[in-house]
Amino acid sequence: MTRKSINNWVGIQTEVLERIHNRTWKPGETIPKEIELANEFGCSRVTVNRALRTLADRGILERKRKIGTRVALYPISNAIFKISLIRKEIENQGNTYNYKLIKPYPTISKHQRGVHPNITENSHVIFIKALHESNRKPFVVEDRWINTAVVPSAIHQTFEQFSPNEWLLENVPYTHGEISFSAINCPIENSSLLNIDSRDAVFQIERTTFDKEQVITNVLLTYHKDYRLQSTL
């Protein structure tokens, strides 16, 4: 194979992808060792390692210690889902955003309202219900619980001008999260806010974010029946 001089991991990644795409390296086939690729490209083994590791994280390569690296037989495309700022999502569609606080509640304990099981019995949360509008039309209802043991400053927020979605993303870092998607008949308490029939099917997202082992917030987003989720592969 013709020797190429590539001294950065992005360039190596591009070359590896091209060889997989044109079937120089076929699915299930073991590719050359890192030291061999480093010699071919005239770069360090560390640079090659980073490129291959990135492709392995994307499911394109499979790496096993003492066995080597091979092209994935059944490559996996991972969907990328980011916690979005609802206001930005609406504005990026060219629409006007509007926020309405529906119900601010005082601090309530877990036994009064079920939330994520990682919140202990002694934990207290505040509950906020809000409506986000696009061009003055209902877009999504936000039902959110915030763990004040982790975010005590939330107690002093009224959430009248800014949504908890926006405030949390700007002020509270998180380490990881859990997310689930559902298609349900719209709950009666939300159907009037969304201006739809309670029998209408709607898309719902439940998301929990954590700071290590502690729950920061749990949110249930109920979208208008016309909503479509878009992501990237």
- Phi/psi region, residue 7 (left: phi>0; alpha: psi -120 to 50; beta: rest), is alpha
Averaged pLDDT, 149-154:
91
Say what percent of the chain tops pLDDT 90. Answer: 57
DSSP secondary structure code for residue 171 in this structure: H
54-112 pLDDT, tens digit per residue, is 999 888 999 988 889 999 887 766 555 667 789 999 999 999 999 999 977 655 544 44
CA–CA separation, 121 and 114 (whole Å): 10
Distance CA 231, CA 209 (A): 19
Beta strands in the chain (DSSP E): 61-64, 68-71, 97-104, 108-109, 124-134, 137-147, 176-185, 201-211, 214-223
pTM over 0.75? The answer is no
Q: Among 81-85, 96-100, 137-141, 147-151, which stretch is predicted with the lowest mean pLDDT?
A: 81-85
- Mean pLDDT for 147-151 is 90
Place of tokens 């908890």: 164
Looking at per-residue confidence, does 140 or 176 come out higher?
140
Please give the pLDDT value at position 78.
58
pLDDT surpassing 80 at residue 123: no
Q: Supply the mean pLDDT for the chain.
A: 86
Let me know how long the chain is.
Answer: 233
**CB neighbour list of residue 135: distance below 8 Å, 6 or more residues apart:** 95, 96
Average pLDDT over residues 41-55: 93
The whole-angstrom separation of Cα 85 and Cα 180 is 18
Give the CB-side neighbour count of residue 7, counting CA atoms within 13 A: 0
**Share above pLDDT 70 across residues of the chain, in percent, rounded to a whole number:** 85
Average pLDDT over residues 149-177: 90
Of 38, 54, 159, 39, nearest to 101 by C-alpha is 159
Decide which of 173 and 109 is more confident.
173
Task: Note the helical H segments in 173-218.
Answer: 188-194
Q: Which two tokens stand for residue 165?
A: 């979605």
* pLDDT tops 70 at residue 113: no
